[in-house]
Chain A
Amino acid sequence: MTHDTLLQVNRIRKSYGKRVILEDADLELQTGECVLLTGDNGAGKTTLLRILAGLERPDRAMVNDGRHTHSWRQARKELLRLSVYLHQTAYMFDGSVSDNLAHALPRPLQRDHSRRQIRLALEWAGLDSLAKSPAKSLSGGERQRAALARAWLSQARLLLLDEPTTNMDYHARQRTLELLHALKAEGHTLLLASHDPGHFLPLADRQLGLRAGRIQPLVWDTPPAATADIPFNVMPMRRKLTW
């Protein structure tokens, strides 16, 4: 384990009844890296992400947060604090887009301060014009950007993204990829799960494959073609979020 390890989880086991999903899976994430996790449908990508988010209890896992090794019971709180999990289809609460972003702010914050942070986040995600719109009426791409803005506001160090561009058209996908790149540039650690890795290749520092319940570094005989063609050196960030 290196000194800038953000999270190390070993010997993860998870089964549903007799069906074993993860068996002795090991994963180490470094601060600021983007890791692409691939695997077929049903391979256990979502389950792994949910375990790492502290939302799903594994049968067994040893979690190291870079300082201490914890049993699952101790680790869950730490994982919830460390990470934000983004569902395949982001959930939006009743209320406006701004209201939804407010849920991500650490409490308690001064009212004026909150408004300023929310405005920055809306601007960052390109959702300024939708600030007062009902969040439940957003399109898939807008929802994902709102969810990323929430993650950005929450200041979580680890973002766990489950198929973040599923069912998006070209433009929506490109804007989402821009935001992911901006998050990475800010030092967030990203773990992206996708069964269609082509879109994320320019973003990923390394790739892992989930096969038969185990995580292995992925080595391609013929790497899949990168299907993302945005100029990633162009950052959509206009202002950095400060507290």
Chain B
Amino acid sequence: MESLSEATRQAIVLLLSGNTELWTIIGISFRVSMTAILIATVPALLTAFALSHWRFPGRRLLITLFSTFLSIPAVVVGLTFYILLSRQGILGDWKLLFTQTAMIIGQIALCFPILVVMGHTALQSAERSAWETARTLGAGSLRALYMVIREVRFGLLAALLAGFGRIIAEVGASMMLGGNILNYTRNIPTAIALETSKGEFSQGIALGLVLLIMAFSLNAVLHQLQGRGLPVP
């Protein structure tokens, strides 16, 4: 078994050499997870706003449910959608199992509760008078919503980062719904799992490094923005 330092050296060489297979895996990973987070963001934030702004029957139950979904293992989400999308499942006719679309669906289900719960917390931190001031100054509902979201933008950005971090690094749902097919549904976490099981640590470490660099870059950007505040549009 190669030493960790030797494996890391080989990983860096692999990354810098522009290995096609490796960069295809990275591309698939980002494409699937970015699509999932983009689709989930608007409905999740609207849900978070509704939960923080309106009082309606079942509101507390919904908050509790979304909080519970935070701790559901990715593999359970994968299993649930596997059953739904498999041939005998009620969504079997869609023929989506082992496609990138299935992976996106699974990742939406994983990041949606994070976006709702963290978005709800951020929006609750905004004073109610922010919404009321916007409305009383003549802003319509959408404009007022934009003004409130702008007030808590750093909290919401943190929610987006947390949601993205959860789905770009999850193995269970992607493995079950995507099937780990090379050049099609093999993403960073499933590739790491596969390469490790084969004893090929260098490619696993290279992909792990990509995840780490991405996490560091996103967090650095967030902290930079928080430090200086975003300019007023």
Asked if residues A85 and B232 are in contact (CB atoms below 8 Å), the reply is: no
Please give, as numbers and ranges, the residues of chain A lying within 8 Å of B129 by CB-CB distance: 87, 89, 91
Dominant SS among interface residues on chain A: loop
With an 8 A cutoff between CB atoms, is A173 at the interface?
Answer: no
Chain B: residues with Cβ within 8 Å of the partner, total of 16
Chain B residue nearest to A99 in the complex (CB): B232
Interface string of A74-94 (1 = CB under 8 A from B): 000000110111010111011
Q: A91-B127, A96-B232, A150-B137 are in contact. Are A103 and B147 (CB under 8 A)?
A: yes
Q: A87-B129, A91-B127 are in contact. Are A53 and B150 (CB under 8 A)?
A: no
Please give, as numbers and ranges, the residues of chain A lying within 8 Å of B151 by CB-CB distance: 93-94
Q: When chains A and B are docked, how far (Å) is the Cα of A145 from the Cα of B190?
A: 59
Asked if residues A84 and B137 are in contact (CB atoms below 8 Å), the reply is: yes
Asked if residues B132 and A55 are in contact (CB atoms below 8 Å), the reply is: yes
Among B130, B139, B232, contact of A91 (Cβ-Cβ < 8 Å): B130
Please give, as numbers and ranges, the residues of chain B lying within 8 Å of A84 by CB-CB distance: 136-137
8 Å CB contacts to A: which residues of B140-157? 147, 150-151
Among A81, A90, A96, contact of B138 (Cβ-Cβ < 8 Å): A81
The listed residue with most B CB atoms (<10 A of its CB), out of A55, A83, A91, is A91
Chain B residue nearest to A160 in the complex (CB): B136
Interface string of B117-130 (1 = CB under 8 A from A): 00000000001011
Asked if residues B137 and A87 are in contact (CB atoms below 8 Å), the reply is: no
Among A53, A94, A103, contact of B139 (Cβ-Cβ < 8 Å): A103
With an 8 A cutoff between CB atoms, is B135 at the interface?
Answer: yes
Asked if residues B232 and A95 are in contact (CB atoms below 8 Å), the reply is: yes
* Additional 18 contacts, C-beta under 8 A, given A89-B129, A93-B151, A96-B232: A53-B132, A54-B135, A55-B132, A55-B136, A83-B136, A85-B132, A85-B136, A91-B129, A91-B130, A91-B132, A93-B130, A94-B150, A94-B229, A94-B232, A99-B232, A103-B134, A150-B137, A154-B137
25 A-B pairs with C-beta separation under 8 A: A54-B135, A54-B136, A55-B135, A83-B136, A84-B137, A87-B129, A87-B132, A89-B129, A90-B133, A91-B127, A91-B130, A91-B132, A91-B133, A93-B130, A93-B134, A93-B150, A93-B151, A94-B150, A94-B151, A94-B232, A96-B232, A99-B232, A103-B134, A106-B138, A156-B138
